[in-house]
A and B are shown apart, each in its own frame.
Chain A
Amino acid sequence: MIKKIAYRLASCIAIWLLLCWVCLWMMDVIPGHLQDFYADETNNNTQSALYSENKSLPLFYFGWIPETAMTPYAWPDFKWHGLHNRFHQLLSHYWRGDFGKSYKDNRAVKEIIAERLTWTLALQLPALFFIIALSFILAWQMSLRPDSMFWKWTRTSLLALHSLPTFWLASVLMIFFATPDFLNWFPAQAHGVDAESTWEIWLVYPAYLLLPVASIVIPSLSFLGRLLENGFKEARQRKHWTKAIAIGMDERTALRTQGLPWAMVPFLGWLAGVLPWMFSGALVVENIFSIPGLGRLLLQSITMRDWPVTTALFLLIAAATMLGLLLADWLLYYIDPRTRHERR
């Protein structure tokens, strides 16, 4: 067991380091930088200094890209750069908890992310709650009456909802419920709303969240709902279900004791994706409703070439992805006895 955990952790760290390198390399290769967006502004000396300082360092501990590659036979030019490279610098800074400063406004990345996280959490936590609660209710009701009209219609409509493009749903909701031409019920954009904490957003500005949460919940709901329903259905085909019914258990109790554990396995698989989804899942919705969350920050930083922010977000989301997978595996180990007895 310890060996297995150690192996998983080690591979996660190795992959994370690899992604660090990939991220730095991509930023090296992507053309253009922040200055292009401030070309007409004269006062950007600090930014250019920062940029050139960063670019002058080599990428990794060693390199083999020759300085002049324009000859037809460019042989690799092996060089050892030592510790003065961007990869090492990034790791040592991150190790000390220093995530750098944004090129755009020279603020600490940690501060920006913490500020944006309040909005993202305010949006994603209720969305997550509604997705899980509603899909459990739907799956439960569907499994209680299999092959009825209710089952058939819910199933079909869930499949249709699953195909809804989130960005389209969000735009349509915004046009029809938040513009003066139609029903002007909700505020269209959360632009310029000042909120210190997630609680404040929930208590003072819930109207700003209603449409975004709805446009996140509706397409995701169908996926989890059908996943759980499928789990329940599979449990029904098992012998333990037949036995439970045969000894006189009623349908609800059987569903709770026999079906629910069975449906938990795919649910945990889904749960693994929740952690990274918390950070970047609302990218489209945040952009449409101008919610100053992490998804919007991500898109802005990538398009504006604000590399410290992008790097921090990329590595954060990569770490969250791996952590989610680890956690799901660990939970599965406790819930599913088959994984405990499995031998490799």
Chain B
Amino acid sequence: MYGGELHLLLVADKPRSGSQLLKDVSAAAGGDFKLLEYQWAIWPLLVANPKQIRAESEWLPPGSRDAHGRIFLLGTYDLGRDVLSGIFFGLQKALWIGLLSMAFAALGGLTVGPLLSYASKYRPAISAVAAALLFIMVVGVAYFIGLALYYPDYSAEMLLICAAWAIALCLAGYCLRNAAWQWPWFPDAWMLRYLEIMKSVPSLMVLLLLLQMVADVSLAGMSLMIGFLYMPVVVKHTRWQAKQMIEEQYIESAVGVGLTGMRIVRSHMWPKLIQNVTPVLAFGFGHAVLAESTLSFLGLGLPLDEISLGSMMHGARHYPQAWWAVLFPGLVVFWIVWTCNRFGDYLTGKHLFNEAALDSLNR
């Protein structure tokens, strides 16, 4: 509250244009709100802005104050940024990465696994026309992705057109699945080949190379990469579960009643599959957070000016006296991963080291 004006600076980020506060801040007090005579104010618990750079107060130990009397509870790190607020900022980022990557992995796992397992029993043959359309779709998508990567200024509009074509071809193939020339298409074998290939890929190296491919990788891009590399674990799990489920009587009776494959997967397989796949995703969440912080620590993950738990520790590598800049962010990473592992452990009925967990670590 300043001069009868109510300002919500956390929400609005800046004083309203034309307000008294904006005039006074820019004119009189050199940009610092604290020096003005406000009527009352609620200051946030975390005093420091995680991104604010204060060159004069670099590497302050925990609990120390800077020249302005601001207290840094967990000290400061590289460029005088605050550790405590950085931890909250990085925590948010780490959780987003875990969530997005696992959402992506779950999306792939929960569609590919049950659909192809269902198809391998109840739809082993599709029309050659549909198969050809799907083949064209796959080749075309690969071609356009290749083009977009070779020519960085390739228009995004063109990629959208490509995506539209891919979806159209997919739909056409789906509609024509019952047409003439029914050929076997071995859905389960395709899935197994996919799993086999992904199992042989040195995933850490691929992740490192993928990160180099994109100049400034965004949070979503990074989650996409981690999710892509974790997807086979989920697919393997869902495939195994779905293959058992397919043999059960309620699926057989659903087929007998005449429900479509999509309907069976949606309402008869997903409820149980989601339940069974949750521990795998919980472990994966921990792995994703760990992967992101490790890569940021090595200076390869998110861009260095983005604050994440790993990049905070990256700065301290050249200043080993600053134990606080390593210890506290690392404890937070540890805490997230531990929580995920305990959650997964609890869900699997006290069997942490089932096949899925083993697989995720071996790869």
B334: which A residues are within 8 A, CB to CB?
Answer: 163-165, 168
**Cβ of A277 to closest chain B Cβ, rounded Å:** 8
**B209 on the interface (CB 8 Å rule)?**
yes
A114 to B345, CA, bound (A): 41
**Which residues in window 337-363 of B have CB below 8 A to A?**
337-338, 340-342, 345, 351-353, 355, 358, 361-363
**Cβ of A278 to closest chain B Cβ, rounded Å:** 12
Contact between chains at A175 and B320 (CB < 8 Å): yes
Contact between chains at B147 and A74 (CB < 8 Å): yes
Contact between chains at B147 and A163 (CB < 8 Å): no
Contact between chains at B204 and A283 (CB < 8 Å): yes
Decide if the interface of chain A is mainly helix, strand, loop or mixed: helix
For B129-172 the 0/1 string (1 means CB < 8 A from A) is 00000000000000100110111111100100000000000000
Residue numbers of A with Cβ under 8 A of B are 11-12, 15-16, 18-19, 22-23, 26-31, 64-65, 69-70, 72, 74, 76, 159-160, 162-168, 171-172, 174-176, 179, 181-182, 188, 223, 226-227, 230, 266, 269-270, 272-273, 276, 280, 283-284, 287-288, 298-299, 302-303, 310, 313-314, 317-318, 321-322, 325
From B199, B213, B337, B340, give the contact of A325 (CB < 8 A): B199
**B24 on the interface (CB 8 Å rule)?**
no
**Please, could you name 16 A-B residue pairs with CB atoms under 8 Å apart, sorted by A?**
A31-B213, A70-B151, A74-B147, A159-B352, A165-B294, A166-B294, A167-B298, A168-B333, A175-B320, A181-B320, A273-B363, A280-B205, A287-B298, A310-B209, A314-B202, A318-B200
A16 to B197, CA, bound (A): 9
From A188, A273, A318, give the contact of B201 (CB < 8 A): A318
Contact (A227, B358) CB under 8 Å given A175-B320, A188-B320, A284-B294: yes
Residue numbers of B with Cβ under 8 A of A are 143, 146-147, 149-155, 158, 196-197, 199-202, 204-206, 208-210, 212-213, 215, 286, 290, 293-294, 297-298, 300, 310, 313, 316-317, 320-321, 323, 326-327, 330, 333-334, 337-338, 340-342, 345, 351-353, 355, 358, 361-363
A288: which B residues are within 8 A, CB to CB?
Answer: 317
Contact between chains at B212 and A321 (CB < 8 Å): no
Contact between chains at B362 and A273 (CB < 8 Å): yes
- Nearest B-chain residue to A182, judged by Cβ: B323
**Cβ of B332 to closest chain A Cβ, rounded Å:** 10
Contact between chains at A165 and B330 (CB < 8 Å): yes
- Nearest B-chain residue to A315, judged by Cβ: B202
**Cβ of A199 to closest chain B Cβ, rounded Å:** 29
Which 10 A-B residue pairings sit nearest by Cβ, starting from the closest? A168-B330, A273-B362, A163-B338, A163-B337, A317-B202, A227-B353, A29-B149, A30-B212, A26-B209, A171-B326
- Nearest B-chain residue to A324, judged by Cβ: B362
Contact between chains at B333 and A165 (CB < 8 Å): yes
A174 to B297, CA, bound (A): 15
**Cβ of A252 to closest chain B Cβ, rounded Å:** 23
**Cβ of B228 to closest chain A Cβ, rounded Å:** 13
B340: which A residues are within 8 A, CB to CB?
Answer: 163
A159: which B residues are within 8 A, CB to CB?
Answer: 338, 341-342, 345, 352
Contact between chains at A302 and B208 (CB < 8 Å): yes
Contact between chains at B320 and A174 (CB < 8 Å): yes
A11 to B196, CA, bound (A): 9
A280 to B205, CA, bound (A): 9
Contact between chains at B361 and A322 (CB < 8 Å): no
Contact between chains at A299 and B208 (CB < 8 Å): yes
- Nearest A-chain residue to B289, judged by Cβ: A165
Contact between chains at A163 and B150 (CB < 8 Å): no
A167 to B263, CA, bound (A): 46
From A230, A287, A310, A317, give the contact of B353 (CB < 8 A): A230
